[in-house]
Structures are given as structure tokens and as C-alpha cells.
Structure 1
Amino acid sequence: MRADGPLPMLLVAAAALVDGDGRVLVQRRPAGGPMAGLWEFPGGKVEPGETPEAALIRELDEELGIDVEAACLAPAVFASEPLGEKHLLLLLYACRKWRGLPEARHAEALKWVRPVELHRLEMPPADKPLIGLIEALI
């Protein structure tokens, strides 16, 4: 907590997209932005008045060009940690069903990996603690 009050909350919804072979999709953050070059689960910020599920459906369409229904998003795990002048609450959903083929619209690259391989990727600090839980779920 800061001397002038609590940190503002940054709510982010992301997806562990799981293919038929049990692999998870990660994307590489683009150069020039925060945490450039790190691998992450696709997703983004929840806008005011938006549910996490609606935000994730919007972000997956914008970032990957895929269509996901809310019923296909299963709440999986979350991370909570300070991030600069804000406090990040990252909600990760598991998703095994979508329409379309994911394409890197905003990311530098996409990669399908086995959950155990996530340990070897450079990922944002909030994503790292989620890896073991994803392994157990998939």
C-alpha cells in the first residue's frame, strides 16, 4: 500500500488455449512495448463496465482473430502482484474450443508448447507462478 492509499487495480483476463494435443498457445510481446520479447498467455485489460469473459472474448478476436464463446471459458487460476504504480490481478481461463486459426495480429510470434515447456520460456513475473497450476489442470 502506498502512503497516499492503495494501488489502483489493473484487471487482466488471459487464456490458456489448449489444442487437441494438450499444447498451450503463448505469444511473444512485440518490441518497443513493456516486457518486450517475453512470452505470455493471450489476453488483455478488462475495460470499465466489461466482464472478464467479455474482455477476453474481445481480446482473443483482436489479438488472434479467433471467436470464442463465454461458455467455452473455464476459470482456471489467477495471479496477484504489484506492477509499477498499479496492482495486477491476472485471471487465467482455460479454453479448448474456438473458431478460426490463431494468427499473430499484435504479437511478434505465436508458439504451441507443452505445459512443461513453459518453464523454459521467458515470461512476465505474473505468468510464472501459473505454470505449475496449468500443468496440473491440463
Structure 2
Amino acid sequence: MSAGTAEGPGTPAAGAPRIVVGGILVRGGRLLAARRTAPAETAGRWEFPGGKAEPGEDERAALVRELREELGVEVRPLVRVPGEWPLTAGFVLRVWTAELLRGVPEPLEDHDELRWVTPQEAAALPWLDPDRPALAWAAGRL
């Protein structure tokens, strides 16, 4: 997008929070949980994989890119979980369900372990607080 054009769908308005996308992948009644390695305050806790949308990047495109980079898979975003949750200053988390199209998820970046877990197994893991509402939403639909 050239300078002076209108904001795109992924471009935050002045003062608006930046978007971090997370992806809920489901297979056989289980969802994919990823254990963080960094930063220190989140290491060892579980989350839905994803990352920051780039300025001007659509959320769906960001999710596809982030899951390719973090897990080595190709996905198709499906439905956005209702709501958004505050992260560090200036960022909010938005979580999407996504269909796994190609590849086997591997912890390539930011994670040291991936697990396909049932909602009951997921509830026993130490999740990052911002991911918990999306986990509850997903568990109610599996």
C-alpha cells in the first residue's frame, strides 16, 4: 500500500492496539496446544500458536503466515472466536479456528512441545491467561 492511501484491513487506526493472531487446529476431537519457550515469563506455559500481524496485513493472512513459520504447516482460517484479549501494552489477541491443509505440525519457533489434547487434557495444562477464553470456547464445541 502506498503512502497516503486509506488504511487496509490489518492496519490499526492511530492509537488502536496491534493484533496478535492465534490458531485453534482441531483433529479427531483434539486441539493442538503449544508450549512456549520464551520470553521467560511465558516459558513452559501453553498457548494456541500464532503471532503478530504485520502492519497492513489481514488477520487471516497473518494466521496462515505465522502457522507456516512456527509449525511448518499450511492452514485455512475458518471462524474467529468471539472477543479479543489484552496482551502486553498495545497488543490484543484474536483467535481463529483453522483447518490443517498440509504438513505435520512441528515446534519450529517459540515452542519446545506440541500436543494434540482433548478438552479435558487441555484444562489440566498451565495455559497463558489470554488463551483461556478461546480454550473454553473451543472446548464447548468439540
Fold in common (TM above 0.5) = yes
- Aligned positions of 1:123-134 closer than 5 A: 123-134=127-138
| In structure 2, C-alpha distance between the alignment counterparts of 1:119 and 1:84, rounded to whole Å | 24
- The corresponding residue for 1:16 is 24
Q: Are 2:43 and 1:40 equivalent residues in the alignment?
A: no
Cross-structure match for 1:85: 89
- The gaps in structure 1 that reach 5 residues or longer are 1-5
Cα distance in 2 for partners of 1:43, 1:130 equals 13
Identical-residue share of aligned pairs (%): 38
Determine the C-alpha separation between the residues in 2 that align with 1:46 and 1:128.
21
Is this contact kept in 2: 1:31–1:108, CA < 8 A?
no
1:116 pairs with 2:124 = no
Work out the CA distance in 1 between the residues paired with 2:37 and 2:15.
27
CA pair 25-58 structure 1, distance change in 2 beyond 3 A: same
Amino acid in structure 2 at the alignment position of 1:77: V
Partner residue of 2:77?
73
Count, aligned residues: 128
Distance 2:135 2:21 in 1: 16
Cα distance between partner residues in 2 of 1:36 and 1:120: 17
1:55 is matched by which residue type in structure 2? A
- Counterpart of 1:100? 103
Aligned residue for 2:74, secondary structure, equals: coil
What SS class does the counterpart of residue 129 from structure 2 fall into? coil
Structure 2, unmatched stretches of 5+, are 1-13
Whether 1:30 and 2:34 are equivalent positions in the alignment is: no
In the superposition, the TM-score normalised over structure 1's length comes to 0.81
Runs of 4+ displaced beyond 6 Å: none
Deviation at 1:7, TM superposition (A): 6.8
Cα RMSD (Å) of the superposition? Answer: 2.0
SS of the residue corresponding to residue 127 of structure 1 reads helix
Deviation at 1:137, TM superposition (A): 2.1
Q: Secondary structure at the match of 1:63?
A: helix
- The more displaced of 38-47 and 6-15 is 6-15
